[in-house]
Amino acid sequence: MKTNEAAKVVLYEKPTCTKCREVKKILTEQGIEFESIEYLKKPFSVDELKRLLRRAGLKPRDALRKNEPAYQRYVAGQNLDDDQLIRTMVKHPELIQRPIVTRGSKAVLARPSSNLSKLGIE
């Protein structure tokens, strides 16, 4: 059965993350087929992360995990511009907020999971 690529749902996640498991449960309960990508195992390229953030309407700083040790090590007090920040996030994907869900041309940071409604997922 061929799926409609425009409506394809992709979940960028870390399986041990509580919010990621919550989103996975919502998608499963609604019968929504999705592709799951562990972005810590299959990291983004610079261009992929830029496109993903643009689709979600997020600036790199909006998608940063500030409680990670890598934030203190590589970001805090560094005065990085957006391009430098994206390169740092690609090198250290643990800095990227999760889960991120895409559907068609849109993406959301599903934190809180109610943000899924922006993709037509209730």
Q: Which residues are catalytic?
A: 17
b/e map of 53-82 (b: 16 or more CB within 10 Å)? bebbebebeebbbeeeebbeebbeeeebee
Q: How far apart are CA 12 and CA 20, in angstroms?
A: 8
Angle at 24 between CA 22 and CA 26, to 5 degrees: 70
Q: Are strands 34-38 and 9-13 parallel, antiparallel or unpaired?
A: parallel
Residue type, position 16, single letter? T
